């Protein structure tokens, strides 16, 4: 098991990724220090590295405009069966599109579990590999985003460009 940490600058701040071997376990738009604070219990302290190979290449490609570059990168995060299904389904939202929390719950097999689907978005530890930024309120407004609404706006505009 090799826990590695890598970060790069983006137009919306640092994008930091933690991987366990070649599986992303934490990712987001924050400093390395803040990312380490979000590590799941039981995960050892990561080693900072200058590159994560395929994962770093996919991140660079995404930032450079290849908005499907993250789609095939393996991810792992803890959660119950419904949350896992929501995260799996979320990866099916095409770049440049948005779904409502209601659509997400429905496509995850539980149309009445809108709040649970929204909670899965809020607890997503591997953004934007699991693209919770593509989920919006039923009225089309953005809702929330852990890394701030300016980051969510940038990601959506970047994917639509």
CATH number for 3-63: choose from 3.30.160, 1.10.10, 1.10.3470, 3.40.50: 3.30.160
pLDDT attached to residue 111: 97
- Indicate the domain borders of the chain: 3-63, 81-160
Active site includes 19? no
pLDDT attached to residue 1: 55
Mean pLDDT score, 125-140: 97
pLDDT attached to residue 33: 94
Q: Choosing from 25, 132, 155, 156, which is the catalytic residue?
A: 132
Write out pLDDT tens, residues 65-124. 999 999 999 999 999 999 999 999 999 999 999 999 999 999 999 999 999 999 999 999
Mean pLDDT score, 135-147: 95
Cα 132 from Cα 145, distance rounded (Å): 8
- Span 81-160: which CATH code? 1.10.10.10
pLDDT attached to residue 65: 97
Cα 144 from Cα 56, distance rounded (Å): 27
106 by Cβ neighbours in 10 Å (0-12 / 13-18 / 19+) ranks as middle
Q: What are phi and psi of 24, to 5 degrees?
A: -75, 130
pTM of the predicted protein model: 0.95
Write out pLDDT tens, residues 33-65. 999 998 988 888 899 999 999 999 999 999 999
Q: Are 18 and 35 in contact, with CB atoms under 8 Å apart? A: yes
């Amino acid at each position: 098991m090799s826990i590695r940490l890598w970060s790069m600058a983006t137009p919306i701040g640092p994008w930091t990724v933690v991987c366990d071997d070649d599986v992303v376990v934490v990712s987001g738009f924050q400093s390395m220090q803040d990312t380490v604070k979000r590590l799941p219990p039981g995960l050892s302290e990561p080693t900072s590295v200058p590159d994560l190979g395929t994962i770093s290449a996919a991140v660079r490609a995404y930032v450079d405009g290849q908005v499907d570059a993250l789609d095939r990168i393996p991810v792992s995060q803890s959660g119950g069966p419904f949350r896992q299904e929501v995260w799996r389904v979320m990866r099916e939202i095409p770049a440049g599109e948005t779904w409502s929390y209601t659509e997400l719950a429905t496509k995850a097999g539980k149309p009445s579990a809108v709040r649970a689907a929204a909670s899965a978005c809020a607890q997503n530890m591997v953004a934007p590999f699991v693209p919770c930024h593509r989920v919006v309120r039923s009225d089309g407004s953005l809702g929330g985003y852990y890394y701030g609404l300016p980051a969510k706006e940038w990601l959506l505009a970047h994917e639509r460009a």
